[in-house]
Amino acid sequence: MANFTLSELAEIVGGQVSGDADLTIDGVATLSTAGRSHIGFLSNPAYRKQLASTRAGAVIVEPREREHCPTNALLVSEPYNAYARIAALFQEKPAGERGIHPAAWVSGDAWIHESAWIGPNCSVEAGVRIEAGCHLGPGCFVGSGSLLGEGTRLVGNVSICHGVRIGSRCLIHPGAVVGSDGFGFAKEQEGWLKVPQMGGVVIGDDVEIGANTTIDRGALEDTVIGNGVKLDNQIQIAHNVQIGEHTVIAGCAGISGSTRIGKRCAIAGGVGIAGHLEIADDVTITAMSLVTRSIARSGVYSSGIPAQENGIWNRQVARLRRLERLAQRVGKPESNHRQKE
């Protein structure tokens, strides 16, 4: 089991110890469940009540919160960031297997680095290149001509279709599908004609893709996911979308085809973005918003109406209907006046 002194943790995160610098820490925990050998953190003032009664051996806090902390403190300017770095030290790492499991199938025309691991029931097609330190959990599929960069991990039951390029140190969670056909159909008199999806998907370094998220291949050019992008579970990214570096997108968002999203954007859960739009850098879009026009300037954007009591909602809808009738009545005299002129 890993353990660190409080002074060692302070050095790792660039913080300052207030209290017993030699205290040994062997894990992280919440303020309400932590014990003497754990370190907790406070990044939201709403949890200050829990801080007062915590049994944690130490707590990561901002300097201004030190007076409220009844135990040893690790003082930093960004407690949540420091917590993330410290938690990673105690995170259980996957077993360091290497080689090819007997229950996997790997084409003789695929190139697998000797330090990579291909788990049971995986399928790796011809022309695939899997770099050093890659880890394919059970049931993964990698289609022909695809590339997995150094240290990339597919947790399990991940499907990478043909012609997909994935960078280094990426993490792809179970059920994700990368490189499936985009939703491209041409209308015929009776039915729909499938448009071939001939592009690929290019994913940068240090990208995380959540469970059951789908990223479609491009129609002609590639769908592109930039370095450091973080995608939550159950997101739909359509063909030819481009997502800029270090953008984060929460669960159940849907991005229509050929939309370009800038760098460092934050898109909350359930957001829908129409196709062929341009979203600037440093844009935040709040939960359940519908974006139908391009956004040219950074900032926070919202739409939609939060849930409320049904009776209040019904009254508001009734007023909206009356407002439409009122607008029609007000517009008629103006129309008549223009006709007289």
Our answer to whether residue 239 is catalytic in this structure is: yes
Domain map (residue ranges) of the chain:
4-90, 103-301
Cα–Cα distance for residue pair 5/229, rounded to 1 Å: 33
Query: Does the domain formed by 4-90 have CATH 3.40.50.1100?
Result: no
Strand order in the sheet with 129-130: 111-112, 129-130, 147-148, 164-166, 201-203, 223-225, 242-243, 260-261, 278-279
103-301 has the same fold as 4-90: no
Token pair belonging to 27? 């894990």
Percent of the chain with pLDDT over 90: 86
Residues 285-333: tens digit of each pLDDT = 999 999 999 999 999 999 988 889 999 999 988 998 888 888 888 876 5
pLDDT at 159 > cutoff 90: yes
The pLDDT of 233-240, averaged and rounded, is: 98
CATH architecture, domain 103-301: 3 Solenoid (2.160)
pTM equals 0.88
Q: In whole numbers, what is the pLDDT of the chain averaged over residues?
A: 94
Among 239, 246, 276, 337, the active-site one is 239
Q: What is the Rg, in whole angstroms, of the alpha carbon atoms belonging to the chain?
A: 26
Nearest CA among 14, 9, 106 for reference residue 59: 9
Percentage of the chain surpassing pLDDT 70?
A: 96
Which residue did the predictor score with more confidence, 305 or 166?
A: 166
